[in-house]
Amino acid sequence: MDFRHVGRSGLKVSTLGIGCNNFGARLDEAASLKVIHAALDAGVNFFDTADVYPLGNSGASEEILGRGLGSRRRDIVVATKFGLPMDPLSKAPNGSRRYLVEAAEASLKRLGADYIDLYQVHFPDRQTPIEETLRAMDDLVRQGKVRYIGVSNMPTWEVVDSLHASERMGTEKFISSQNQYSLLAREVEAELLPALSRHGLGLLPFFPLASGLLSGKYRRNVAMPQGARLTKSQQLADIFLNDANFEIVERLEGFCQRRGVTMLQLAFRWLLARECVPSVIAGASTPEQVAQNAAAVDGALSAEDVAEIDKLAGNAPRLFWAH
């Protein structure tokens, strides 16, 4: 397992990160613990969760992760998020000082930890000045409860605006941005990637397999696989399953056959070829899937391969999904 710095920070993470949003939902605690232990055995040191995970059972993911890491906690980079409502009756994201401080304390308790390695704004709160959010996050860093701060699902202009605000106030700066990014969702390439590169932030992609469409398990005009994410979620299926995407996948499968690589390897290694990407966040349901993902990041594409893949993927359609 390789390790990379997140942006220009001192934080180093494994090139494979484990997304924990299915802990306590699709996976019960016993199955989740097997995934966590398999990841540790594979050399993974990066786990990404959120206080609101999983939807419908908020907080369970953090609790399971904390119990699963146990005495290994000091060796691991735990990223979590705040801001999306834990209360289903509340709909607006919240970045206020009052909410943030209480959310951090609650996450620490659920994780059974003294500190959070990477604390991320889950979704921008446009009712609260970013200066207030940054001041509160800076206080948590100074208190030793948070090591680094980041954002998620934030458009380029707000990321840059927040960096300027940090400079004006002399507070901690965001070191990372977590956004949807894959061969089928490349909107971040237009503005966000250049901005992150210019300002020294890392991009942490979620949905690297486009909810499984890039895993090779889905075929056009073929029955959907039982139990798969796009089979179970009509909302995601409506976003990802269309002729344009299937055409791209079929072209990429031809490349895989010519080069002797799997679709999984292609999808992960293409992302890791991006300058700003230190790690690919991927969920897993079984230890075997963890092992496959770990093997997929253990290798690199040549510059020529990347250029050919870019050409084959073309201009993917806009697919927005907040995570």
At 91, the pLDDT band (50, 70, 90 cuts) reads confident
Peptide bond before 54: cis, by omega within 30 degrees of 0? Answer: yes
Query: Is residue 307 domain-resident?
Result: no
- For range 307-311, the mean pLDDT: 93
Given pLDDT bands bounded at 50, 70 and 90, which one contains residue 317?
very low
User: Is residue 291 in some structural domain?
Assistant: yes
Residue 43 within a domain: yes
CA 256 – CA 269 distance, rounded (Å): 12
pLDDT in tens, 36-69: 999 999 999 999 999 999 988 999 999 999 999 9
Domain assignment present for residue 168? The answer is yes
Tokens of 138: 């800076």
Active-site hit among 53, 115, 181, 218? 53
Domain count, the chain: 1
- Contact criterion met (CB below 8 Å) for 20 and 61: yes
Asked about 53 being catalytic, the answer comes back as yes
Assigned domain for 234 exists: no
Distance CA 110, CA 104 (A): 10
Q: Are 312 and 58 in contact (CB under 8 A)?
A: no
Please give the structure tokens belonging to residue 219: 């075929």
- Evaluate whether 255 touches 308 at the Cβ level (below 8 Å): yes
253 is a domain residue: no
Sole residue written with tokens 């220009």? 8
Mean pLDDT, range 121-127, rounded to an integer: 95
Q: Indicate if the pLDDT at residue 75 is higher than 70.
A: yes
Q: What sign has the CA pseudo-torsion 45, 115, 172, 322?
A: positive
CATH classification of the domain holding 45:
3.20.20.100
Range of the domain at 110: 3-211+264-300
Confidence of residue 302 (pLDDT cuts 50, 70, 90): very high
CA–CA gap between residue 153 and residue 123 (Å, rounded): 6
Does 162 map to a domain? yes
**Does residue 243 lie within any of the structural domains?**
no
Please state, in angstroms and rounded to a whole number, the distance separating the CA atoms of residues 21 and 48: 8
